[in-house]
Structure 1
Amino acid sequence: MKAETAALALAAAREAAAAAAEVILHYWKRGVDVEIKGDATPVTIADREAEQAIRKLLRAALPEAAIYGEEYGLDGARDGLLWLVDPLDGTKSFVRRTPFFSTQIALMDRGELVLGVSSAPVYGETMWASAGGGAWFEGERVRVADTFDMKQASLSIGNVKTLTGDARWAALGALIRDSNRIRGYGDFCHYHLLARGSLDLVIESDVNILDVAALAAIVREAGGTFTDLAGQPPTLETTSVLAGTVAIHRQALRRLAV
């Protein structure tokens, strides 16, 4: 991707995230009705209107790119420029009045993540990154910590329901015992903390690529490693996450390979 196109795309993604934030905050203040989708997950008017606002701005800025969104599916081909959009990641938190939800916008270029924007309007954080341009938090460039010893590492786990029935569950328990501390920040929050150097490892076994694509771009540009639990880079089929500082990720991947 040309530099000018990349700059245009990042500006559009940030503008789209800000537009989604306006929609989300509007409904956060007044409350919404909740519907249950076919996959048994909740959806609200805030999800749908936020995605509509995002799509409008992304199409105007980069009309040649396809868009794959949580609420309205795929518009265009998957093999070129492809926007990945989750307008309200954490709808369950949103409807229960918990501020741990966000807007996630990423761009893939022929399967490679090239930028990401993660906006948590009620929590008050926005992070973004572009390939080769670093990771940024509210205008300040951020980096992961330089933690290399598991005994000093802070871990956070998110959605790990399927992992409880996996052979790796015992390995995760041993990893936790050998770490400095364990938390469960979840959603966007633990990835933001990782990219800012406040956390050293994130583990999740039940995610969708739309949940984590932007966060993967951010963590990578912050100097971290972001793969699935098998050590593979993110793809449209990704369903798990192992993200951390380079050294801690390497140790965790080895120990979870059972």
Structure 2
Amino acid sequence: MERSRYLQVALEAAHAAAEVIRHYYRDGVEVSIKADATPVTRADVESEEVIRRAISTAFPDHGFYGEETGSHALDAEYLWLVDPIDGTRSFVRGYPFFSTQIALMHRGEIVVGVSSAPAFEQIAWAERGQGAVLDGHACRISQVHALEDAAVSSGNLRTLAGGPRWADWAQVVQRVARIRGYGDFYHYHLLAAGRIDAVLESDVNILDIAALSLIVTEAGGVFTDLDGGPVTLETTSVLAGNPRIYAAVAELMRVPG
């Protein structure tokens, strides 16, 4: 897979951030609570600063939307979307389900995505029209056709659990072969690699899933919100899967076609 300069810079930034994150992992790093009641650590801030510096040096006219260090030029033609540690709660508890998410949006379309999991020593990336790669190898979604044979993973279901579609989700749970809750980046990596067949989440933000949405679609999958809409800066839910299992779950979940 040929790498553009955009992708190369994103990969270099992810690798630099991983060094910062590994330094602090399991090191008793101090935790603060942000205004939205989510945790933040020195590792979050320092790793985002490393990413931001790499991007601004290479592309000074690009916009930047970061989880920890703020944003600028959100209306720029090119906009970088960065969550330095997606899964900070996992990070501070010492279990490995956290990742660095870096995506580039061009005029509203995600064109580059990098998902780096330092504790797993795993990295996935994609570029629009170029396919998806996991740990140096091209990856593809599964060919499972029947819902009864499918493995489905869910996460962040608080909103779904409090709403009328919870009963729809129960139908999915009863039909599929296997339900798991891998969560965060990990179930999207599994999906892109063909190891599970669908993912559903009801409480996310764009920084969590921008890069992952491109990785999954470039691996041959379908990735929308729970209303069947495309990924945008306002996206807060996900239904993703191989095309057949996506369609089957979408029907049970009453996702508009």
Scaled to the shorter chain, the TM-score interval is over 0.9
Q: Determine helix, strand or coil for the equivalent of 1:145.
A: coil
TM-superposed CA distance for 1:29, in Å, is 4.5
TM-superposed CA distance for 1:250, in Å, is 1.3
Distance in 1 separating the partners of 2:248 and 2:108: 27
Deviation sequence 1:23-75 (CA, Å, 0-9, x none): 00001152200000000000000000000000000111222210100002211
2:137 corresponds to: 140
Identity %: 55
1:24 corresponds to: 21
Report the number of matched residues: 254
Distance in 2 separating the partners of 1:12 and 1:218: 17
1:223 corresponds to: 220
- Kept in 2, the 8 Å contact 1:230–1:253? The answer is no
Q: Does 2:120 match 1:129?
A: no
2:98 corresponds to: 101
- Kept in 2, the 8 Å contact 1:79–1:111? The answer is no
2:229 corresponds to: 232
1:48 corresponds to: 45
Distance in 2 separating the partners of 1:230 and 1:17: 31
Deviation sequence 1:141-167 (CA, Å, 0-9, x none): 000001121011100001001100111
Matches within 5 A, 1:1-258: 7-257=4-254
Letter in structure 1 aligned against 2:201: E
- Kept in 1, the 8 Å contact 2:26–2:94? The answer is no
- TM-score where L is the length of structure 1: 0.96
TM-superposed CA distance for 1:78, in Å, is 2.6
After superposition, the CA RMSD in angstroms is 1.2
Letter in structure 2 aligned against 1:205: S
Deviation sequence 1:53-109 (CA, Å, 0-9, x none): 000001112222101000022111335100000000000000000110000000000
Distance in 2 separating the partners of 1:232 and 1:148: 23
Letter in structure 2 aligned against 1:138: D
Distance in 2 separating the partners of 1:32 and 1:138: 29
Q: Determine helix, strand or coil for the equivalent of 1:132.
A: coil
- Kept in 2, the 8 Å contact 1:195–1:222? The answer is yes
Deviation sequence 1:205-229 (CA, Å, 0-9, x none): 0001000000001000000001001
Q: Determine helix, strand or coil for the equivalent of 1:30.
A: coil
Distance in 1 separating the partners of 2:98 and 2:64: 21
Distance in 1 separating the partners of 2:77 and 2:196: 34
- Kept in 1, the 8 Å contact 2:154–2:183? The answer is yes
- Kept in 2, the 8 Å contact 1:42–1:92? The answer is yes
Q: Determine helix, strand or coil for the equivalent of 1:40.
A: coil
Distance in 2 separating the partners of 1:166 and 1:114: 33
Distance in 2 separating the partners of 1:99 and 1:197: 21
Q: Which runs of 4+ in 1 moved over 6 A?
A: none
- Kept in 2, the 8 Å contact 1:191–1:202? The answer is yes
Unmatched tracts of structure 2, length 5 or more: none
Deviation sequence 1:96-144 (CA, Å, 0-9, x none): 0011000000000000010100000011210000001110011100000
Q: Determine helix, strand or coil for the equivalent of 1:129.
A: strand
Unmatched tracts of structure 1, length 5 or more: none
